[in-house]
Amino acid sequence: MRGSPVCMLAFCALAMTTLGPRVAWCQDDTQSSTSTQDVELKAQGKAPVGGQPFPLSQSVKHECAPQPIRNYMCERLMSELAKFSAEPRDQAWAGRTEDGLRSSIERESPEVVVRALECRKSLCAIETVTPTFAEGYQGTNHALLARNGLIRVQDVPVGETDVNGVRVVVLAQVLLRRPGERAVRDR
């Protein structure tokens, strides 16, 4: 998670109290260190090897913040994102998969905007923005994901107001690399 250390500690303390050990990404947040390889990759404009969280939008963070009524979709998303954060990056597969998935979405679903996308070794995380709920799911439908060697593990749709005051749908998803599958460009 990003932000000031004091805010992160307060958020994690609340999350750990409410959700317990399922919020593993909070347990080591203050103890994480950036490796030399991560620094070099960031300098090259590439994603870090591992240990860094996926940059969720404020609307998804707000929706998935601990609440008195449990949100199982958010709990599962956060659990999967914790696994994602711990994974090292398979540079060859991740890069090809990111490029292939982004190209497929742009070609097949021009109404979908990819806000953030990152793959590691076996997991990818993606956040998209669309005008409607249905377009969000159509933009990353099962067939499109399968063609890119991926399976949807968990998703959370969230309403958000854009800078122009228009309501949009943000869809945060964790995707799993299909066993034995390669990226689109490898086929």
Residue 46, pLDDT score: 55
pLDDT band at 15 (very low <50, low <70, confident <90, very high): very low
Return the residue matching tokens 């107001």: 161
The confidence band for 45, taking pLDDT boundaries of 50, 70 and 90, is: low
| Number of domain units in the chain | 2
The reply to whether 81 and 129 lie within a common domain is no
Q: Are residues 66 and 112 in the same domain?
A: no
User: Can you tell me the mean pLDDT for 26-37?
Assistant: 34
CA distance 12 to 51: 16
Task: Point out the least confidently predicted range of 1-5, 94-98, 167-171.
Answer: 1-5
> Per DSSP, which regions of the chain are E strands?
113-119, 123-130, 150-161, 167-177
Q: Are residues 17 and 33 in the same domain?
A: yes
**pTM recorded for the entire structure:** 0.70
Do 43 and 110 lie in a common domain? no
- CATH number of the domain residue 140 falls in: 3.30.1360.100
- Residue 170, pLDDT score: 95
Looking at 38, 53, 86, the residue that finishes a domain is 86
Quote the CA–CA distance of 38 and 81 in Å, as a whole number: 18
pLDDT at 137: 78
Size (the chain), residues: 187
Q: Which of 6-10, 58-62, 79-83, 164-168 has the lowest mean pLDDT?
A: 6-10
Residue of 89, 103, 64 whose CA lies nearest to 177: 89
**What is the per-residue pLDDT for 17?**
39
Same domain, 177 and 130: yes
| % pLDDT > 90, the chain | 56
Phi, psi of 77 (to 5 degrees): -60, -50
The overall average pLDDT reported for the chain is 77
**Strand pairing of 167-177 and 123-130?**
antiparallel
| Structural domain boundaries, residue 141 | 91-186
Choosing from 26, 58, 86, the residue where a domain stops is: 86
